A and B are shown apart, each in its own frame.
Chain A
Amino acid sequence: EDKVVQSPLSLVVHEGDTVTLNCSYEVTNFRSLLWYKQEKKAPTFLFMLTSSGIEKKSGRLSSILDKKELFSILNITATQTGDSAVYLCAPEGGTSYDKVIFGPGTSLSVIP
């Protein structure tokens, strides 16, 4: 059975802190891993990772995938209150058809 675990489930930090969010997965025929940000509405896309060891960056956010150890991390540096959201990781894979399943999310609160 496919499984996605995210840690921590909840995190409170002060503005300016750096955070690391973790995602581990067990997915048959793994293809890629997606990261999304959700702020009380539909999730918005952050990254898609397909290759191990290649860091993807977008401003203060970065992410990397380790296909051997079956995990990914999302880093946010110099956090701002606007980073407060739920961060979801979603591996893609499957037995018959490829599908995307989501982890439970990490709820990040950034306080001034």
Chain B
Amino acid sequence: NAGVTQTPKFRVLKTGQSMTLLCAQDMNHEYMYWYRQDPGMGLRLIHYSVGEGTTAKGEVPDGYNVSRLKKQNFLLGLESAAPSQTSVYFCASSEKREKLFFGSGTQLSVL
């Protein structure tokens, strides 16, 4: 019973490189979210999706893109990584108006 799985768990990038974070859930949830968390701060919403094929901007969407081609997967892309994107990234999923289930997080460092 995997729940929400994020890959990779750790990654180091150089400024300007691109990468994709993968979030997969096996609970058939409609809603999926990407958050970032910086030291001493709560979770800030980057993008989210309310169903397959839909995406919407959150609080801090600049510099990120997302896709939800399959219901179980939600991809977060960084086209040209910047040091300001060094953070811990959390994916979460939920049914509509239900609690969120979180992945274990991805630690990303951009040098």
Interface residues of A, Cβ cutoff 8 Å to B: 2, 4, 6, 31-32, 34, 36, 41-43, 45, 48, 86, 88, 90, 92, 96-105
Contact = CB atoms under 8 A, between A and B. Distances in A.
**B42, B45, B48, B56: most-surrounded residue (chain A CB, <10 A):** B42
**A48, A100, A101, A103: most-surrounded residue (chain B CB, <10 A):** A100
A78 to B, nearest CB: 25
Nearest to A6: B42
A41 B102 CA distance: 10
Contacts of B99: 34, 45, 48
A100 B50 contact: no
Interface of B: 31, 33, 35, 41-45, 48, 50, 54, 56, 58-59, 90, 92, 94, 96-100, 102-105
Nearest 10 A/B pairs, CB to CB = A42-B102, A102-B43, A102-B42, A104-B42, A105-B42, A97-B50, A45-B99, A99-B48, A97-B56, A101-B45
A101 B59 contact: yes
B48 A97 contact: yes
Nearest to B33: A100
A103 B97 contact: no
Contacts of B48: 97, 99
A88 to B, nearest CB: 6
A21 B48 CA distance: 28
14 contacts: A4-B42, A31-B97, A36-B100, A43-B43, A43-B100, A86-B42, A88-B42, A98-B50, A100-B45, A100-B92, A102-B42, A103-B42, A104-B41, A105-B42
Given A41-B105, A42-B90, A100 B42 contact: no
A39 to B, nearest CB: 13
A43 B94 CA distance: 14
